[in-house]
Every structure is written in structure tokens, then in C-alpha cells.
Structure 1
């Protein structure tokens, strides 16, 4: 099933849910990314899909690169006093 937009991708049913709180700035950046994907790249997806893909990329990077992954570097940086 697609939303009928050019470049739309099939929707997938998900059976698990989490709640994530983000700042207003982060939500705005996510919406800007979604709109840029549609306007500049012809990819029509919802914010949830963008988040799932971003999580998948970060988890793959963690698995492939461990301590040198972007996730570890960012979390270490953010946890420094």
C-alpha cells in the first residue's frame, strides 16, 4: 500500500511501539528532513519511516564499527561533563 505520491514506498505494518520524546527543534528538523526527501529526492515518507531508517543506519554502524561508530562517539560526547 502506498499513499499514491510519486516515489512513495510501500507501507509496512509494525507490531511494536515505543514513545520517544524530542525537543521542538528536533521535531522541526525531522519535518524539514521529511519535506526535503519529498521535494528534492522524490521520496514521500512519513516521519516514522525517517526515524526507523535513521535508527537502522545507526545500529548498523554500531555493529560494524563498535567503539568507532557515530553513535558511540555522539553519546560519549554528550555524556562528558
Structure 2
């Protein structure tokens, strides 16, 4: 009797990863209606307006990848922070934690410029 492997369907493989189903691959941008294709990113301020607060991307499909090398101590600290958050009821992975930290650092830089904690830490390094 031949064994047949049960494979996932296309719906399972290409399920939306964002709550509103708005995640699309770059090739699907041409299929969007004209009014959606011209939208400006939310983090670019309109002339004279304050920029919207920067937010981490959270649990969505990410199209870009970046490799960051850290020391074993930094990795240990990151994992400790993740486990501490888990004990308080907030389960996050390391990537999400790093994206949130990046959003905080960049928001502080946008708000305070040269006086931001990010610039001070980079000067001290």
C-alpha cells in the first residue's frame, strides 16, 4: 500500500500574516487600486506637521532581512529580557524585541536629535 503524504493547501501556504490582510508581495503592488498605490508612508511627515510616533512592526511578514552580530553577553541579556517579559505575560520573540528597541531608539532620535540617548550612547562607544 503506497504511503501518501498530506501537504498543506495553497490557502495554508499563502495565508495573510497581518490582521487586515494587507500584506502583499512587491509584485502585487501593480494590482492595487490607484488610490492605494500612491499612499505615503506613515513615518514621513507632511510639511509643517509633526511626524507620527514610530511603532515597531510587530507580528507581520517582513520582506527585508538584516544580520546583526552580537556578543554572547548581549545575546544573554536579550534572552533574559525576553524571558522576563514572558514571566509578566508578554510572550515575544527576539526579533520582535529587537524591532521594538529599534523603534524606540529611532523615535528618541527623531524627537531629541543630537541630545537623544542613541547619539549619546554612540558617542560613548
Q: Deviations over 1:31-56 (max 9, x none)?
A: 000000010x2100100000000000
> How many Å separate the matches in 2 of 1:20 and 1:34?
18
CA RMSD of aligned residues (A): 1.2
Gaps of 5+ in 1: 2-9
Equivalent of residue 98 in structure 2, options 28, 37, 51:
51
Q: Paired residues, what number?
A: 69
> How many Å separate the matches in 2 of 1:13 and 1:23?
27
Larger radius of gyration: 2
What residue in structure 2 maps to residue 21 of structure 1?
A: 69
> 1:12: Cα distance to partner?
1.1
- Normalising by structure 2, we get a TM-score of 0.53
List structure 1 runs of 4+ shifted beyond 4 angstroms. Answer: none
What residue in structure 1 maps to residue 114 of structure 2?
A: 67
